[in-house]
């Protein structure tokens, strides 16, 4: 079983739709969960950072973590064409290094 699994899509939605992106993981030591947005051939841009289980909201973005199910989600409300990108989940067990383990990314296209 892969450490972090993420449906690569592609996912295509109309402008204004609610988007749901998900990752599952197998390592119960993961405590820190992040979502990054990556445009083609660019660096990952941090969108959301959460610690342990629960919800976090920032504007149109909501991150959810369910540690009991080893499942994390990112919701995008009122999606815009500018949201079209690859979304990467990443997680870390912390410790002294906080190295990140990434999912493969989901390619999202928001159509005007």
Partner 1 sequence: EPEVTQTPSHQVTQMGQEVILRCVPISNHLYFYWYRQILGQKVEFLVSFYNNEISEKSEIFDDQFSVERPDGSNFTLKIRSTKLEDSAMYFCASRRGGGANEQYFGPGTRLTVT
The residues, ordered by sequence, that sit 6+ positions from 35 with a Cβ below 8 Å of its Cβ are 21, 46, 47, 48, 61, 63, 74, 87, 88, 89, 90
Whether 84 contacts 109, CB under 8 Å:
yes
Q: How far is the CB of 15 from partner 1 (least distance, A)?
A: 27
Q: Does 75 bind partner 1 (CB under 8 A)?
A: no
Output the furthest CA–CA distance in the chain (Å, rounded). Answer: 44
22 lies in the binding site for partner 1 (CB under 8 A) = no
Stretches 11-19, 21-29, 33-41, 76-84: which one binds partner 1 (CB under 8 A)? 33-41
Our finding on whether 90 is near partner 1 (CB under 8 A) is: yes
Task: Check residue 47 for interaction with partner 1 (CB under 8 A).
Answer: no
Q: Which residue has the tokens 């500018």?
A: 82
44 binds partner 1 (CB under 8 A): yes
Cα separation, 106 vs 20, whole angstroms: 10
DSSP state of 53: S
Piece of the chain touching partner 1 by CB under 8 A; list 10-18, 57-65, 76-84, 93-101: 93-101
Using CB under 8 A as the criterion, which residues of the chain lie in contact with partner 1 when the complex forms?
Answer: 32, 34, 36, 41-46, 49, 51, 88, 90, 92, 94, 96-105
């Amino acid at each position: 079983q892969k450490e972090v699994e993420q449906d690569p899509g592609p996912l295509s939605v109309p402008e204004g739709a609610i988007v749901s992106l998900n990752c599952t993981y197998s390592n119960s030591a993961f405590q820190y969960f992040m979502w990054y947005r990556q445009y083609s051939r660019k660096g990952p841009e941090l969108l959301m950072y959460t610690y342990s289980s629960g919800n976090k909201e920032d504007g149109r973005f909501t991150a959810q973590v369910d540690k009991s199910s080893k499942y994390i989600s990112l919701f995008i409300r009122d999606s815009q064409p500018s949201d079209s990108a690859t979304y990467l989940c990443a997680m870390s067990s912390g410790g002294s290094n906080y190295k990140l383990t990434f999912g493969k990314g989901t390619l999202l296209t928001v159509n005007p």
